[in-house]
Copies of this chain bind each other. A is one copy, B any other.
Amino acid sequence: MKSLLTKILLMKSLLGLLLLANTASAADPLPSWNDTAPKKAIVTFVEQVTREGSPSFMQSAERIATFDNDGTLWPEQPMYFQIAFTLDRVKALAPQHPEWKEKQPFKAVLEGDMKTVFAGGEQAVIELGMATLTGNTTEEFAEIVRDWLATTKHPKTGRAYTEMVYQPMLELLAYLRANGFKTFIVSGGEAEFMRPWTEKVYGIPPEQVVGSSMKTKFELRSGKPVIVRLPEINFIDDNEGKPVGINQYIGRRPIAACGNSDGDLQMLQWTTAGSSASFALLIHHTNAEREWAYDRTSSMGRLDKALDEAHAKGWTVVDMKNDWKIIYSFEKK
């Protein structure tokens, strides 16, 4: 029996070696990234924190990585996708609200007058959201989100929104997870707008999605418990809200964080202020031809102060045009 076991163990080791050799030869974990500075910085950081004996080694439990969503994992042009969703909800619910034909900002949405809608600023968008995205149960809302994503195409690419996720970022998420990281979304968007699809699209489960939220209420309806979405903001997970949300939902400091706008600045400051090695990455939208090019003056995803701080502090800045081979997951061969 003992010699059989020895033999088995030997065979098992051999099998392990074969598999390892296979993996090593097969794998560039970031094939959609050009061999420029950002890719090198990512690989160097991951090796530093995962190699036992390295002065920067971190236990797997401490390898928390947080990702902004809009503009970091998928686009945010010509408007945040949740705003496009909200406008479509106004149209879908309009037959039940004849008064909207005469009431702003609803009237402008129904007439396709985006200039007037956006002239109302954040307040107009919030008013539209309160009227169309609340009052239902959490399960009803998740179903509406799934239906919308399944049936709606982006006006520029003609693709489903969930096909427009950034292929290089999918590779980065997978690479980090393969190296013992736990990947979280920390987004200004609403958590309940993201959770129905992030596991399938990004490999990020609902419990690792931190976002803005509405207040909700538990109630029994004919004995059946439901959670109802109330027309009141609970938490805004943006700017200073991002480290606050990280502390509240995750409860420990990330060692890596990725964003693309000034709304991510405080998350990157918090991530890089710990005593351990850390990594901060900013995505700079520079590809007008294949995606969009914008930064310091954009109304969606403005990147101004955070870009200056990235340069001052040596954070990694991805130039989408020069550092990525392809943009969207649908371009993958």
**What is A's interface to B at a CB cutoff of 8 Å?**
5, 7-9, 11-12, 14-15, 18, 61, 64, 138, 182, 184, 191-192, 195, 199, 205-209, 213, 216-220, 224-225, 227, 234, 240-241, 243-244, 247-252, 266, 269-270, 273
Contact = CB atoms under 8 A, between A and B. Distances in A.
A249 B247 contact: no
* Chain B CB within 10 Å, residue with most, of A138, A182, A248: A248
B11 A247 contact: no
Contacts of A249: 207, 249
A205 B61 contact: yes
A138 to B, nearest CB: 6
* Chain B CB within 10 Å, residue with most, of A18, A216, A220, A225: A225
Contact of A206 (B9, B205, B217, B251): B251
Q: For the complex formed by this chain, how many copies does it contain in all?
A: 2
Contacts of A15: 8-9, 12
A225 B8 contact: no
Given A195-B251, A213-B248, 12 more contacts: A11-B12, A12-B15, A64-B207, A192-B251, A195-B252, A206-B252, A207-B208, A218-B240, A218-B244, A225-B266, A225-B269, A234-B248
A269 B270 CA distance: 38
A240 B137 CA distance: 15
A273 to B, nearest CB: 5
A243 B195 CA distance: 17
A9 B14 CA distance: 11
A64 B199 CA distance: 15
A250 B206 contact: yes
Contacts of A217: 240, 244
A89 to B, nearest CB: 21
* Chain B CB within 10 Å, residue with most, of A138, A217, A224, A247: A247
A243 B208 CA distance: 17
A197 to B, nearest CB: 12
22 contacts: A5-B18, A8-B18, A9-B15, A11-B12, A12-B12, A61-B199, A138-B247, A191-B248, A206-B252, A207-B249, A207-B252, A209-B251, A216-B244, A217-B244, A218-B240, A218-B266, A219-B240, A220-B269, A227-B243, A227-B244, A227-B247, A227-B270
Contacts of A218: 240-241, 243-244, 266, 270
Given A61-B199, A207-B182, A240-B218, A224 B8 contact: no
Q: What 9 A-B pairs have minimum CB-CB distances, sorted nearest first? A: A206-B251, A218-B240, A11-B11, A195-B251, A207-B250, A218-B243, A8-B15, A225-B273, A225-B269
A219 B270 CA distance: 10
A248 B206 contact: no
Nearest to A272: B225
